[in-house]
Amino acid sequence: MSNIIILGAQWGDEGKGKIVDLLTERADCIVRYQGGHNAGHTLVVGEEKFVLHLIPAGILHPGKTCVIGNGIALDPQALIEEIDDLAQRGIQVGENLKISDSCHLILPYHRAIDKESEKQKGTRRIGTTGRGIGPAYVDKMARIGIRAGDLSHPKIFREKLSQNLQEMNYLMEKLFRAHGFDLESLYAEVMTQGERILPYLADTSLYLWEEARKGSSILFEGAQGTLLDVDHGTYPFVTSSNASAGGALTGTGIGPTMIDKVLGVTKAYTTRVGSGPFPTEQTGPEGERLRERGQEFGATTGRARRCGWFDSVAVRYAARINGLTGIILTKIDVLDHLKTIPVCTGYRIGTRMFTEFPHHIEDLENAKPVYEALPGWNKTTRGIRRWEELPKEAQDYIRWIERQVGVPVIMISTGSERSETITLQEPFPASE
């Protein structure tokens, strides 16, 4: 038995989906614990590509149970579309999916408020995915959220919806000067969606605890990344949940003593989607080249991702915040074209040097990265599966990251396919 958290150590899109899909072979349950369909996790299996938003990346493997934990913000419409899309492609979602009855629902007014409030922010907009994530978590914290379990109590659901609409419609009409929502039609719409969702609802905290006691192995699949965490990320340019390791506990109802390992996924360079500081960003041709070679376009919104060099200040910070026990380094092949590779070792802010990640947004916005230039390998690493086959310079690059971050690199991804992976240390013990 081994319970492992896999999470993003940067600003998201590190390749978590590929890694979770790969490691699912050795796991029994795969659990999403925070975020919602703002996530886009890509799995490539042969010629086929799947992009999952809400359903855990273990779903392609028969015989495994996928769980949507209580920490998720669940848009019923998005979930139904994802289930139907998978079914069309021959992947059945039935008994193999369990959804916490305590998940907070994302309703159409959350999406509308997300979009309107972004418009109002003007140049200080966050660049959200427009999926209603923030407003749904606002309601959760304000204790007016509607939970998945409420769908099985139509009277209570209707009362809550009616009360919330008074507030939401006031916001929509008076503050945003937009259309409000009609109670009757919204009630009917969500109740119809509820019929599809109810069969999946369960006490997932209890389920996971029982599974763990039976000796099952559980994979916790993070969404977004540590620097987008609402507490530890580049606030306010973050998402509205805890993408770091703590979220795996509060978002599932599992205690910390049940976690064996915390693995951070990081690219061999850095990307970010949306607004906010990004010290090592390359806005010129070098960033453009990384975007092209890495196909850095959002899996959820299709937006071009901002690209830049590897930032060891940021990843070392993620190692500390999450208590990382191992690093999974992805997309090393994207750097194959470079003769030398700049890597960031610290920030200069005004006259001061920083080797720890600053908390204040203004410091980060003014941070000038200090670079070291490492030799590139300038040959292909695409699809390499054995450490010995990596060029010496690529090995040195990986060892440099390991030293800077202070955590061992246990897997290296050399392509988007499952098989394009080097495993240095098997995350699950050999006996399993």
CB of 32 to ligand IMO, least distance (A): 9
* Interaction between residue 40 and ligand IMO (CB under 6 A): yes
* Interaction between residue 17 and ligand GDP (CB under 6 A): yes
By CB under 6 A, name the one of 24, 193, 217, 224 that touches ligand IMO: 224
* Interaction between residue 8 and ligand IMO (CB under 6 A): yes
Q: Which stretch binds ligand GDP (CB under 6 A): 16-24, 90-98, 134-142, 360-368?
A: 16-24
162-166 contact pairs (CB < 8 A, 24+): 164/109, 164/139, 165/109
CB of 297 to Mg ion, least distance (A): 10
What secondary structure does DSSP assign to 61-86, as a single string?
A: STT-EEEE-TTBEE-HHHHHHHHHHH
In angstroms, what is the C-alpha Rg of the chain?
22
* b/e burial code for range 21-46 (CB count within 10 A of at least 16 → b): bbbbeebbbbbbbbbbbbbbbbbbee
**What are the structure tokens assigned to 82, written together?**
């994802």
Q: Which residue is listed with tokens 């092209």?
A: 292
Q: Would strands 340-349 and 352-354 be described as parallel, antiparallel, or unpaired? A: antiparallel
Instruction: Tell me the C-alpha distance between 330 and 50, whole Å.
Output: 18
Query: Annotated catalytic residue: which of 21, 28, 41, 333?
Result: 41
Instruction: Tell me the C-alpha distance between 329 and 296, whole Å.
Output: 16
* Interaction between residue 218 and Mg ion (CB under 5 A): no
By CB under 6 A, name the one of 6, 31, 86, 133 that touches ligand IMO: 133
Instruction: Tell me the C-alpha distance between 109 and 164, whole Å.
Output: 10
CB of 414 to ligand IMO, least distance (A): 20
By CB under 6 A, name the one of 32, 37, 331, 418 that touches ligand GDP: 331
* Interaction between residue 414 and ligand GDP (CB under 6 A): yes
* Interaction between residue 21 and Mg ion (CB under 5 A): no
CB of 338 to Mg ion, least distance (A): 24
By CB under 6 A, name the one of 39, 148, 208, 384 that touches ligand IMO: 39
Q: Is 260 a catalytic residue?
A: no
Using the minimum distance from each CB to Mg ion, give the nearer residue, 13 or 211.
Answer: 13
Q: Which residue is listed with tokens 């970010």?
A: 272
* Interaction between residue 277 and ligand IMO (CB under 6 A): no
The catalytic residues are 13, 41
Query: Could you list the residues that contact ligand GDP (CB under 6 A)?
Result: 8, 12-18, 40-42, 44, 295, 299, 330-331, 333-334, 413-416
